[in-house]
């Protein structure tokens, strides 16, 4: 079976595009980084892809709110193409700035506000997959995912989190430490169909065991790799 | 004339910026009764209907997070806008959004609006804004509705001026020097006058500014290149080799096989693993950070990243070493015109974080030091490391190559930064230096990296635009070839700039490359892809002249030989220090347990977690050993290790700095901090035979003979240390004149501050070592010798020092061999944990290991009969190692006499040292990091 073609979408100031590109490659995808401007000029690139990522970073320097300008570019430039990509069931993941972009573009519910403590924060967190979630990215993952956060605007805001839980749209929750004041400890949400996932933490920075801060003391391990999310996304794309 | 509109955006939930203003105000003794509200204001000009206003508001604000209004607020408030020409990235985003929406705007600007509530007195509100919110160096503010600057306001005429220099006597030259703030010596001014008398013409303002920048201490390193006569040494008055030549000769004599380029170009280059080179550089940005902490530190990081890019390497990590005055300095003790250390600290850390986080580089290694001497002269050292596939270093430019400027447009920002950096500061510095300080735009620099990495075959030479702007970048590139450039082709932020301002502006995020004409189109295409501006402003000539044109007139015509070699070599006199090396004095410690806790709580030793968490140290996925390690991720690591996820080999970064030793014995300080930097990398698993060093000196005014003597002694120590460890210096930087003249006329200099950065090869990144204690029952072993060496020690900060402070730590001649043995033991898998012994001595190092591992330690054999010496002396060359008991014999066999068993790891959560009341590990952690892991 041929490899899944993955697109990593980057805007001006996206900076974890290479990290997630490496993760997808390690998970077995045929992957490339494409600028939003290139994608808008050539939407056919999206047509030939089986999976898409909006990568993390500081697109447009987070000016006027994280992710807003890149969301505007994508919504106005290829909004329809993105919606039909999702309607086909092809998996999309937005990480950190990519999550902010997808909420601002209306592909995911809610919004991301300034961290409750008022500062950028970088630390490792533990994410519990929510068993009832419809997300194709977390299907079958029972062990918590360990990976770092690195953001200043990661406080997930939603007017009715209970409805998200009820609809199976909460995919990941922070365990024990809620690092940014997100409502109901929500770390990752998906769209009602489960193919679009957004999360603030960086699973792409835990793709080998050595990246775990406690790896030399028995911490982490294969079951907790962030890579598992990408394995899942690629598996789903393969099954389409 | 287009209509003007203002949109006010308010956060629905409390805006954390308001809380931080309240807390900053409280620190200066102003308690604000009401919550502070911060709103953002967007000013736009254009003909907008209601529908367009609605769509624009929806594009720039999120209804779940924010409320917007196009009506001017009725409440009281203070509005803060940028001064003309200061980078306003949010305004650029507004223009971008409007463009996307098909809305035509002529201008955009942004502002902050601070509302203190009705009960606050206007004068107090002003005071809070002035002291903890806004900065007059880059911003202006007022009550009510404040209009942003209109760019067409920028004044200026647009011609080069001719300045009479021929025939000026010494007084006339001094007058010219003061009038234009040239900061040149009289001999240098005479040399310029003589040159122009020989040419038979007067000098243009562009030429004299070019010479002042090129010949500034900052660019020319006049002190490090001077002939220095020393007095006070054993042989009477002696001429010493220029300091820079000494460091170069030292590197040459070490002849390390991995050095590819040392002391040439923008950064040093080494090659540990065949096929991959590593570029390394560290810079200071001290003066700018004193007057505008955020912008100063921000552009300091941006500048050093460009240094690495300027030697064709992809930046992979940033380091920062920060020196501040005490955060709890009483307001009454704050000198006139200086910012409070707490404000400087917040601004500097935010500035480093903003640049590093946004450009997408991990900020991994660093240090934060506090001393009253840094109150008026904070120090900001920023370093960068990059990698590249091995290739020959660019050897151009060649005649015919185009002079190409990439990146941001040029404005009136950062004018005369090089000369400003070379001056002494006083109470008025903040006001006069306004134009010398800039705000960075890390996204533009990120795009520059994207444009340049992979384009190495398209250019023949590259350099960054730093101090001195184009004058320095193009001037240096043209040194051996000559160039002819036209200022009219340099992109401007706004009209009205004088030619010398365009030529000298230190507008950020620009690089200059020499492009053979056949590659220009390919380079243009690469830049277009990532929206980087490319300007072809001239060509390299081959006639050895630097010619600059403006509106058809030649405004600079200088022989490159005169520009670069016409400066008379400085002659200076240094009085060597006479440190105490023999009269050691001990200390009495009445309550050792309380002393251990006091040391852990001392700001220099206490946890830096609050700072470290503000930096992204995970991006790129290569961080293997982080700055914080251990069971609760709150133990201080020695060095950090970077290795690509798929690679076995990696690099370690270690820092050594200790100005307090420098106050007593600068030469011994240099040896001690080289040892510390190397020990830090060895402790995590690096190979002691593959270490390269960077030096960064921040000193007082070298024209004071004792200050220069301290510098000479420190350079002696650097050379001795490099030879001792076979660790060559590959690059360095000096920042002199870190002095402040107080209102009383007294000069305040920084203590001799030498930062050593060690970069070392890690052969096996899968098996790095960290300081967190691992397993109860394992044996603790001390490596190295403990002597009574307390001068400059941190023990003397937590209890009164005796009149005779004794000696600072002396170098341990056995250390290089000891480190080789330790490395062999690590490679053999015998070492579970390792930590260096530094500030606070053995007791603090043990406590840090307990905190990191959340385990106890039982220490029953002390390394010295005197308890205070055993616990708190800071002798060099020492590490504590945790070894499983089954491996102790093998470990001891490798280490020989250098290692002594001192105790073992326990599971009772107590640090129990013989002769000291046991201390619970929780209490140690509490003292070290009172706020928990935040």
Closest CA to B839 of B901, B905, B789, B770: B789
Query: What pLDDT is attached to residue B426?
Result: 62
Angle B719-B720-B725 (CA atoms, 0-180°, nearest 5)? 100
Half-sphere exposure of B640 (CA within 13 A, CB side): 24
**pLDDT range class, residue B495, cuts 50, 70, 90:** confident
For A:15-54, CB contacts with B below 8 A are: 15-16, 18-19, 22, 26, 35, 37-38
User: What is the number of residues in chain A?
Assistant: 240
**pLDDT range class, residue B138, cuts 50, 70, 90:** confident
Report yes or no: B600 and B927 within 8 Å, Cβ to Cβ.
yes
Model pLDDT for residues B45-84, shown as the tens digit of each residue: 999 999 999 999 999 999 999 999 999 998 889 999 988 7
- Of residues B62, B626, B633, nearest to A65 (C-beta): B62
Report yes or no: B481 and B540 within 8 Å, Cβ to Cβ.
yes
Model pLDDT for residues A61-120, shown as the tens digit of each residue: 998 889 999 999 999 999 999 999 999 999 999 999 999 999 999 999 999 999 998 899
Q: In which element (H, E) is residue A44 found?
A: helix A44-47
Query: What pLDDT is attached to residue B934?
Result: 47
**pLDDT range class, residue B160, cuts 50, 70, 90:** confident
How far is A25 from A34, CA to CA, in rounded Å?
Answer: 15
Q: Between the CA of residue B487 and those of B282, B303, B397, B503, what are the distances in Å?
A: 31, 23, 20, 7
Query: What pLDDT is attached to residue B418?
Result: 57
pLDDT above 80 for B496: no
CB pairs under 8 A between A and B: 153
Q: Do B613 and A121 touch (CB under 8 A)?
A: yes
A79 lies within 8 A of chain B by CB: no
**pLDDT range class, residue B596, cuts 50, 70, 90:** very high
- Of residues B89, B614, B765, nearest to A119 (C-beta): B614
Write down the H helix ranges in B129-169. Answer: none
How far is B589 from B869, CA to CA, in rounded Å?
Answer: 10
**pLDDT range class, residue B467, cuts 50, 70, 90:** confident
Checking DSSP bridges between strand B856-859 and strand B910-913, what pairing results, if any? parallel
Query: What pLDDT is attached to residue B420?
Result: 60
Model pLDDT for residues A161-189, shown as the tens digit of each residue: 999 999 999 999 999 889 999 999 999 99
For chain B, the distance separating the N- and C-terminal CA atoms, rounded to the nearest angstrom, is 52
B679 or B467, higher pLDDT: B679
pLDDT above 50 for B1: no
Instruction: Give percent of chain A above pLDDT 90.
Output: 95
**What residues of A are in contact with residue B101 (Cβ under 8 Å)?**
72, 76
pLDDT above 80 for B413: no
Instruction: Give percent of chain B above pLDDT 90.
Output: 79
**What residues of B are in contact with residue A16 (Cβ under 8 Å)?**
360, 619
Q: Do B529 and A217 touch (CB under 8 A)?
A: no
The residues near B192 (Cβ < 8 Å, ≥ 6 apart) are: B165, B184, B203, B208, B211, B566
Q: Between the CA of residue A32 and those of A49, A81, A90, A121, B523, what are the distances in Å?
A: 10, 18, 16, 29, 22
State chain B's mean pLDDT as an integer: 92
pLDDT (average), residues B499-508: 89
Report yes or no: B350 and B16 within 8 Å, Cβ to Cβ.
no
Model pLDDT for residues B121-135, shown as the tens digit of each residue: 888 999 899 888 888
Instruction: Give percent of chain B above pLDDT 70.
Output: 96
**pLDDT range class, residue B713, cuts 50, 70, 90:** very high
Q: Do B357 and A58 touch (CB under 8 A)?
A: yes
Collapsed DSSP state (helix, strand, coil) of residue A221 = coil
pLDDT (average), residues B481-494: 92
- Looking at the predicted complex, does its ipTM rise above 0.90? yes
A208 lies within 8 A of chain B by CB: yes
Query: What pLDDT is attached to residue B435?
Result: 52
Min mean pLDDT across B383-392, B409-418, B846-855 is at B409-418
pLDDT above 50 for B558: yes
**pLDDT range class, residue B501, cuts 50, 70, 90:** confident
Query: What pLDDT is attached to residue B537?
Result: 97
Report yes or no: A189 and A164 within 8 Å, Cβ to Cβ.
yes
Cα B5 to the center of its chain, rounded Å: 40
Query: What pLDDT is attached to residue B136?
Result: 79
Give the number of other Cβ atoms within 10 Å of residue B210's Cβ: 28
pLDDT (average), residues B414-426: 62
pLDDT (average), residues B273-300: 92
Closest CA to B22 of A126, A22, A118: A118
- Site of tokens 């700035």: A97
- Of residues A22, A60, A114, nearest to B645 (C-beta): A22
Query: What pLDDT is attached to residue A139?
Result: 95
pLDDT (average), residues B884-911: 96
How far is A146 from B519, CA to CA, in rounded Å?
Answer: 47
How far is B523 from B459, CA to CA, in rounded Å?
Answer: 8
pLDDT (average), residues B874-887: 98
């Amino acid at each position: 079976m041929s490899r899944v073609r993955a697109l990593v979408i980057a805007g001006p100031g996206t900076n974890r595009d290479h990290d997630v590109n490496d993760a997808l490659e390690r998970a077995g995808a045929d992957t490339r980084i494409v600028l939003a401007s290139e994608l808008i000029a050539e939407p056919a690139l999206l047509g030939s892809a089986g999976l898409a990522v909006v990568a993390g970073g500081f697109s447009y320097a987070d000016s006027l709110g994280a992710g807003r300008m890149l969301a505007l570019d994508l919504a106005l430039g290829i909004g329809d193409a993105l919606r039909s990509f999702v309607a086909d069931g092809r998996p999309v993941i937005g990480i950190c700035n990519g999550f902010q972009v997808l909420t601002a573009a209306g592909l995911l519910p809610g919004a991301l506000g300034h961290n409750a403590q008022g500062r950028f924060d970088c630390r490792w967190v533990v994410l519990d997959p929510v068993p009832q979630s419809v997300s194709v990215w977390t299907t079958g993952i029972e062990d918590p995912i360990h990976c770092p956060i690195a953001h200043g605007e990661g406080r997930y805001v939603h007017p009715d989190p209970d409805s998200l839980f009820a609809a199976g749209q909460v995919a990941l929750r922070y365990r024990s430490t809620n690092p940014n004041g997100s409502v109901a400890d929500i770390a990752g949400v998906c769209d009602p169909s489960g193919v679009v996932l957004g999360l603030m933490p960086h699973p792409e920075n835990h793709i080998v065991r050595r990246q775990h801060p406690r790896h030399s003391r028995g911490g982490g391990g294969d079951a907790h790799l962030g890579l598992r999310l990408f394995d899942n996304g690629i598996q789903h794309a393969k099954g389409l | 004339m287009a209509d003007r509109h203002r949109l006010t955006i308010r956060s629905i939930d409390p805006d954390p910026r308001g809380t931080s203003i309240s807390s900053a105000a409280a620190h200066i003794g102003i308690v604000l009764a009401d919550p502070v509200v911060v709103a953002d204001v967007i000013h736009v000009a254009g003909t907008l209907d209601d529908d367009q206003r609605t769509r624009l508001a929806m594009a720039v604000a999120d209804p779940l997070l924010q409320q917007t209004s196009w009506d001017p607020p009725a409440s009281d408030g203070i509005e803060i806008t940028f001064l003309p020409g200061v980078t306003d990235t949010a305004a650029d985003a507004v223009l971008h959004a409007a463009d996307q929406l098909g809305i035509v705007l002529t201008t955009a600007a942004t502002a902050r609006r601070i509302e203190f509530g009705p009960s606050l007195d206007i004068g107090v509100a002003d005071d809070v804004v002035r002291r903890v919110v806004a900065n007059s160096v880059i911003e202006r503010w007022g009550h009510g509705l404040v209009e942003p600057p209109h760019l067409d306001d920028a004044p200026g005429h647009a011609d080069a001026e001719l300045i009479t220099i021929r025939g000026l006597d010494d007084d006339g030259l001094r007058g010219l020097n003061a009038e234009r703030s040239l900061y040149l010596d009289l001999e240098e001014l005479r040399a310029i006058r003589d040159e122009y008398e020989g040419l038979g013409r007067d000098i243009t303002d562009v030429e004299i500014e070019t010479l002042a920048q090129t010949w500034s201490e900052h660019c020319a390193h006049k002190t490090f290149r001077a002939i220095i006569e020393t007095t006070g040494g054993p042989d009477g008055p002696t001429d010493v080799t220029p300091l820079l030549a000494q460091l170069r000769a030292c590197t040459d004599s070490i002849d390390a096989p991995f050095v590819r380029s040392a002391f040439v170009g923008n950064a040093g280059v080494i090659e540990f693993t065949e096929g991959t080179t590593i570029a390394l550089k560290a810079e200071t940005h001290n003066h700018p950070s004193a007057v505008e902490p955020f912008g100063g530190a921000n552009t300091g990081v941006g500048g050093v990243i460009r240094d690495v890019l300027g030697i064709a390497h992809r930046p992979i990590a940033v380091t920062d070493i920060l020196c501040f005055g005490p955060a709890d300095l009483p307001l009454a003790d704050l000198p006139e015109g200086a910012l409070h250390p707490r404000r400087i600290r917040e601004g500097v850390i935010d500035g480093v974080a903003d640049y590093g986080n946004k450009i997408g580089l991990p900020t991994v290694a660093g240090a934060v030091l506090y001393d009253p001497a840094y109150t008026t002269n904070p120090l900001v050292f920023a370093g960068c490391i990059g990698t590249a596939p091995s290739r020959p270093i660019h050897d151009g430019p060649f005649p015919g190559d185009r002079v190409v400027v990439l990146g941001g447009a040029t404005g009136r920002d950062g004018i005369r930064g090089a000369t400003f950096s070379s001056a002494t500061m006083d109470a008025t510095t903040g006001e006069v230096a306004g134009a010398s300080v800039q705000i960075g735009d890390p996204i533009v620099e990120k795009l520059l990296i994207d444009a340049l990495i992979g384009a190495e075959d398209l250019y023949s030479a590259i350099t960054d635009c730093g101090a001195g702007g184009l004058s320095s970048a193009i001037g240096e590139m043209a040194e051996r070839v000559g160039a002819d450039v036209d200022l009219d082709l340099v992109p401007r932020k706004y009209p009205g700039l004088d030619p010398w301002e365009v030529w000298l502006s230190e507008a950020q995020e620009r690089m200059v490359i020499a492009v053979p004409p056949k590659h220009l189109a390919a380079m243009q295409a690469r830049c277009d892809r990532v929206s980087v501006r490319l300007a072809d402003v001239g060509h390299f000539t081959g006639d050895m002249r630097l010619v600059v044109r403006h509106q058809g007139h030649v405004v600079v015509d200088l022989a490159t030989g005169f520009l670069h070699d016409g400066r008379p070599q400085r002659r200076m006199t240094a009085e060597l220090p006479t440190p105490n090396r023999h009269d050691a004095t001990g200390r009495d410690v009445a309550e050792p347990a309380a002393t251990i806790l006091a040391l852990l709580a001392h700001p220099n030793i206490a946890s830096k977690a609050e700072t470290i968490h503000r930096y992204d140290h995970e991006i790129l996925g290569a961080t293997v050993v982080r700055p914080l390690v251990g069971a609760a991720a709150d133990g201080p690591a020695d060095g950090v290790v970077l290795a690509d996820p798929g690679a076995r080999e990696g690099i370690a970064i270690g820092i050594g700095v200790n100005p307090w030793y420098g106050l007593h014995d600068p030469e011994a300080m240099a040896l001690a901090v080289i040892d510390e930097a190397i020990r830090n990398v060895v402790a995590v698993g690096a190979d002691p035979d593959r270490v390269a060093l960077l030096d960064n000196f921040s000193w007082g005014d070298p024209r004071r003979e004792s200050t220069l003597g301290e510098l000479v002694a420190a350079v002696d120590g650097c050379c001795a240390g490099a030879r001792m460890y076979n660790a060559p210096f590959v690059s360095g930087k000096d920042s002199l004149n870190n002095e402040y003249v107080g209102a009383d006329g007294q000069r305040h200099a920084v203590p001799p501050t030498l930062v050593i950065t060690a970069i070392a090869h890690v052969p096996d990144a899968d098996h790095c070592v960290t300081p967190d204690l691992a397993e109860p029952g394992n044996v603790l072993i001390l490596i190295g010798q403990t002597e009574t060496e307390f001068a400059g020690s941190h023990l003397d900060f937590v209890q009164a020092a005796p009149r005779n402070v004794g000696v600072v730590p002396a170098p341990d001649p056995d250390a290089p061999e000891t480190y080789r043995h330790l490395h062999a033991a690590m490679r053999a898998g015998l070492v579970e944990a390792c930590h260096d012994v530094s500030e606070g001595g053995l007791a603090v190092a043990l406590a840090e290991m307990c905190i990191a591992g959340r385990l106890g330690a039982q220490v029953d054999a002390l390394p010295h009969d005197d308890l205070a010496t055993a616990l708190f002396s800071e002798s060099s060359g020492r590490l504590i190692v945790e070894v499983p008991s089954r491996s102790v014999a093998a470990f001891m066999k490798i280490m020989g006499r250098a290692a002594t068993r001192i105790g073992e790891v326990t599971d009772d959560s107590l640090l129990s040292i013989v002769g000291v009341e046991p201390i619970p590990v929780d209490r140690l952690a509490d003292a070290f990091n009172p706020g928990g892991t935040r």
